[in-house]
Amino acid sequence: MSPWYYLLVPALILLGIAQSTLVPFLRIAGLYPDLILILVAIWSLLRGYREGTIWALVCGLVMDMLSGLPFGAHTLALLAVSLLMQAVRRQVYRLTFGAVLLLVALATLIYYGAVMFATWAMAGESFSGNLLGRVILPAALLNAAVAAVVFWPLRWFHQMTGEQEMGW
Partner 1 sequence: MVVLGALLILGIVLDRIGLLNPAEGGVFRVFEPVQSAFVGIGQGVSDLVQTARDLRDLRQRNQQLVELVNQLAVENVRLKEVEAENEILRRLLDFAQSSPGHTFKAAEVRTRVIGRQPDNISQFILIAAGSNDGIQAGMPVVTERGLVGRVETVYPTLSKVRLIIDTSSAVSALVQRTRATGVVKGQPGGELVLDYLPQGQDVVAVGDVVLTSGAGGGFPRQLVIGQVIEIRQKDYEMFQQAVLRPTVDFDRLEVVLIITNFVPLSLEGLEPAPGTAGP
When asked if residue 145 is in the footprint of partner 1 (CB under 8 A), the reply is no
**CA distance readout (Å), 131 to 24, 139, 146:** 19, 10, 21
Q: Which stretch binds partner 1 (CB under 8 A): 85-93, 96-104, 109-117, 159-167?
A: 109-117
The amino acid present at 49, given as its one-letter code, is: Y
Please report, as a single letter, which amino acid is at residue 157: F
Please say which residue, 14 or 99, places its beta carbon nearer to partner 1. Answer: 14
Range 67-96, binding partner 1 (CB under 8 A): 67-72, 74-75
- Give the three-state DSSP class for 72: coil
Our CB check for partner 1 shows the closer of 35 and 155 to be 35
How many residues of this chain bind partner 1 (CB under 8 A)? 51
Shortest distance, CB of residue 23 to partner 1, whole angstroms? Answer: 8
Q: What is the dihedral of CA 29, 71, 39, 149, to 10 degrees?
A: 10
CA angle at residue 92 from 138 to 85, to 5 degrees? 45
| DSSP secondary structure string for all residues of 34-46 | -HHHHHHHHHHHH
Q: How far is the CB of 147 from partner 1 (least distance, A)?
A: 16
Positions touching partner 1 (CB under 8 A) are 14, 16-25, 27, 30-32, 34, 36, 50, 53-54, 57-58, 60-61, 63-72, 74-75, 112, 115-116, 122, 125-131, 134-136, 139
